[in-house]
Amino acid sequence: MSKLRLVLAFALVMGFVGAFWIITPNMPHVLAQGTTTGEWKASLNKDNSKIHVSLERRSERGGHNQMGQTYEFTDFQGLSRETALNGGPAKFSLVREAGRIDLEGSFQNGKGSGTFNFTGNPSFVSAMKTRGFDFDERSSKRDGDGEERLFAATTLNITTALADDLNSLGFGKLSVEDLFKAAIFKIDSTFAREMKASGFEDLGMEELVKARIFKIDAAFVRQVSQMGFQKEPFESLVKMQIFKVTPEFITEVRNEGLTELQVEDLVKLRIFKIDAQYIRDAKADGVPLEVERLVQRKIGVARH
């Protein structure tokens, strides 16, 4: 059961990477050096410190490509928080190494809408190809064409510096999709080397993505060690985070007499919602202080 939940949890989050841009079969191919247009909508976050911008492009046959992301106001040229709050006409740009998006429209009551033009940078495509990242190459139907990936690279601020940084880690051949994962989940050489110094020397891109998703960093590895679990495999740390095996929970069950516990035991207790009160009730009923016996009592299985 724990393995199933682990797989489902990871698959759910990783689905976000594949669905970052929504591509339909009817989307026409547009060369990187071309210009494409679309519509944008924007709204400020709760404290008005950032702005969420949604960009949508449509094909002649009704297909669409849509993405949304929260930005700092400083990410845009020609846009200020005051403009978004006060309302009125707006003309601003998102300029990145991969290309630029020029937006025009208006704001009212902290919300905006209008149209945009996207222009890809062919020099970026060439520079990335020399680093082993071919934006024109399609490995699957889900990848979309080079224009789709160049558009996503612009919104995510994929840079040649990021490519160089990842290549310095010696992962072997990485894909353009790996670049997107690194940008989305903030994976760089600093984070990878911190994890390596924590004892995880052979983590690849997928494991580093998991680490970011489940908030596993050097500090968490130290915390786990201080809880008495040294040199645990990486997947054990993932399970601890998924099932909320916290220092408080470990102390709680240890205080009830469950002192010789492995990570898998703690995960089982969390899965079946066995806490200190449940353990006390079980002991009062004469149930032996063993994880398996506690689980059997929880699911109503009598042991003969």
Q: What is the domain count for the chain?
A: 2
Q: Is residue 222 part of a domain?
A: no
**Is 29 in the same domain as 164?**
yes
Token digits of residue 157: 């601020």
Look over the chain and give the mean of its residue pLDDT values, rounded to a whole number: 86
89-93, 135-139, 159-163, 207-211: least confident range = 135-139
- pLDDT per residue over 83-110, tens digit each? 999 999 999 999 999 999 999 999 999 9
- Average pLDDT score over residue span 218-247: 94
For residue 264, what are the domain limits?
243-299
Whether pLDDT at 59 is above 50: yes
pLDDT higher for 145 or 43? 43
Which of 141, 169, 197 is the C-terminal boundary of a domain?
169
pLDDT at 146 (0 to 100): 77
Same structural domain for residues 22 and 130?
yes
Banded pLDDT at 258 (limits 50, 70, 90): very high
The confidence score (pLDDT) of residue 7 equals 42
pLDDT higher than threshold 50 for residue 168: yes
Would the pLDDT of 4 be above 80?
A: no
Q: Is the pTM of this model over 0.85?
A: no
Asked which of 123, 138, 169 is the last residue of a domain, the reply is 169
Same domain, 247 and 164: no
- Binned at pLDDT 50, 70 and 90, residue 138 comes out as low
Question: Does 106 reside within a domain?
Answer: yes
More reliable by pLDDT, 300 or 158: 158
Residue 8 lies in a domain: no
Decide if pLDDT at 20 tops 60. no
Is 18 a domain residue?
Answer: yes
Residue 89 lies in a domain: yes
Residue 49 lies in a domain: yes
Average pLDDT estimate for 268-274: 97
Which of 169, 196, 229 terminates a domain? The answer is 169
The answer to the question of residue 92 being in a domain is yes
Q: Determine, yes or no, domain membership for 160.
A: yes
Q: What is the pLDDT of residues 68-79, one digit of tens each?
A: 999 999 999 999
- On whether both 290 and 160 belong to a single domain, the answer is no
Whether 143 and 56 map to the same domain: the answer is yes
Is residue 140 located within the same domain as residue 281? no
Asked if residue 136 and residue 275 are part of one domain, the reply reads no
Same structural domain, 164 and 249: no
What lies within 8 Å, CB to CB, of 263 at 6+ separation is: 229, 232, 236, 239, 240, 245
Residues 150 and 255 in one domain: no
- By the 8 A CB rule, do 265 and 250 touch? no
Summarised one tens digit per residue, pLDDT across range 189-230 is 999 999 999 999 989 999 999 999 999 999 999 999 999 998
